[in-house]
Amino acid sequence: MNASDTTSRRWLWTGLILTGLFVIVPLLLSLAGRSYFYQIANTIMIFALLAASMHLVTGVAGLLQLGHAAFYGIGGYGAALLATHFKLSFAATIPLAGLMAALIAFLVAVPTMRLVSIYFAVATLGIGQMLHVITLNWVAVTKGPNGILLFGGMKLFDIDFSKPVPAYYLVAVIVAACVYVIHRLSHSYYGNALRALREDDQCADAMGINTPRLKLESFTVSGFFAGVAGALWAHTAGYISPADFNFNVSILILSMVVLGGLGSLPGSILGAIILIGLPEVLREFKAGDFRNIIIGVVLFGVILFQPRGLIGEVSALDFIRNQFGLGRKARSDGKQMRVGWL
């Protein structure tokens, strides 16, 4: 395949995705004609952005993040408080909420960046829990478990963005732009440096890559996008409470990234579509109660049977195989040795 083929294929895919996002899905939604479906579509897009932002830090840079919901929550609360207390226009609150989340992510990252693997994971878990306890109990500012209501006011250029269709387009445009930025970040020399970090941080360090700085940057950028997602959620849902941003949400986002495949951006987005969409489809069969169980089972099954995820670029276990040349070797009885069940 020559270069122009690749380019034209890339344009074809981009065109298809954009048409799908901006023409076909809204058309289908307007045919279905229920605002509930718009809400689901918005949720899927917001979680796609969350999964994409976690993909940058967990999939590409290889830092296991167990507190992503905290930055999502900072974005959500930041946007809600800026809109209700300071009466800022919603258009201003979205980037500001992202910046707030990025700032907190930066402050969190500075001391924890020298930790590796599970210690980093647990540090992020601890920080996520701290922020959750704070939003739950700092009643004077966050109104505690009651949450914050946002009243309309989503007007810009005489368009009322609290109506379903403009809200859909607003979320779609912002999410598409953010995902494009993440795509360019992770498929560049910069992204390759992050991948080197993921494969072996000591080796990357030895080759002259400034690993703490890269970790810091990717963590901050990921925090920014999570904050934007939080702001979008606050504005489209119109109500936020600490329960929207607890540990289960962090795990849900992690499951999306693992299900789609670590290191693959389309995979993360596909994971978001499946894990938000599937329970909605199953709702028809009265399976709403099983939502979290399904997430647990899916996560477990994927790790065990398909550690590469649906379209992943690395798998935890392939990594071992390549590293030590063990897995693919035929045993003496002619059977292939496999990792996983038996």
Partner 1 sequence: MDYYLQQLVIGLSLGMVYALVAIGFTLIFGVLNVVNFAHGEIYTIGAFAGLLLFVSFAPPLVVVLLVVLAVGALTGVGLERFAFKPFRRFNDEATLKSRAMREATLMSSLALSIVAREGIELVFGSQFQSLPLQHMLNSPIKIGPVTIVDGDLIIFGTSFLMLAGLQFVLKHTSVGLSIRAVSNNALGARYVGIDTDRTIAWTFAVGSGMGAVAGILVGLYYGAIFPAMGFTPGIKAFVAMVMGGLSSIPGAVICALIIGISEALSSIFVSSVWQDLVAYAFLIITLIFFPRGIFGGARERV
Length of the chain: 342
Residue 115 as a binder of partner 1 (CB under 8 A): the answer is yes
Residue 300 as a binder of partner 1 (CB under 8 A): the answer is yes
Q: Which residues between 158 and 217 bind partner 1 (CB under 8 A)? A: none
Residue 141 as a binder of partner 1 (CB under 8 A): the answer is no
CB of 183: closest distance to partner 1 in angstroms? 25
Q: Which residues between 40 and 79 bind partner 1 (CB under 8 A)? A: 64
CB of 66: closest distance to partner 1 in angstroms? 9
Contact with partner 1 (CB under 8 A): which of 69, 94, 197, 295?
295
DSSP state of 162: T
In the complex with partner 1, which residue's Cβ is closer, 154 or 295?
295
Cβ proximity of 294 and 279 under 8 Å: yes
CA atoms of 129 and 103, how far apart (whole Å): 18
- Closest CA relative to residue 318, chosen from 271, 263, 268: 263
> Structure tokens of 177?
């732009």
Cβ proximity of 78 and 101 under 8 Å: yes
Distances (CA, A) of 307 to 116, 255, 298, 318: 21, 12, 12, 8
CB of 289: closest distance to partner 1 in angstroms? 6
In the complex with partner 1, which residue's Cβ is closer, 64 or 99?
64
CB of 192: closest distance to partner 1 in angstroms? 20
Question: What number of chain residues touch partner 1 (CB under 8 A)?
Answer: 51
Scored b (16 or more CB within 10 A) or e, 164-198 reads: beebbebbbebbbebbeebbebbeeeebebbbbbb
- Closest CA relative to residue 132, chosen from 121, 144, 123: 144
Instruction: Give the residues lining the site for partner 1 (CB under 8 A).
Output: 64, 111-112, 115-119, 121-123, 125-127, 129-130, 133-134, 136-137, 247-248, 251, 254-255, 258, 289-290, 292-293, 295-297, 299-300, 303-304, 307, 316-317, 319-320, 323-324, 326-327, 337-341
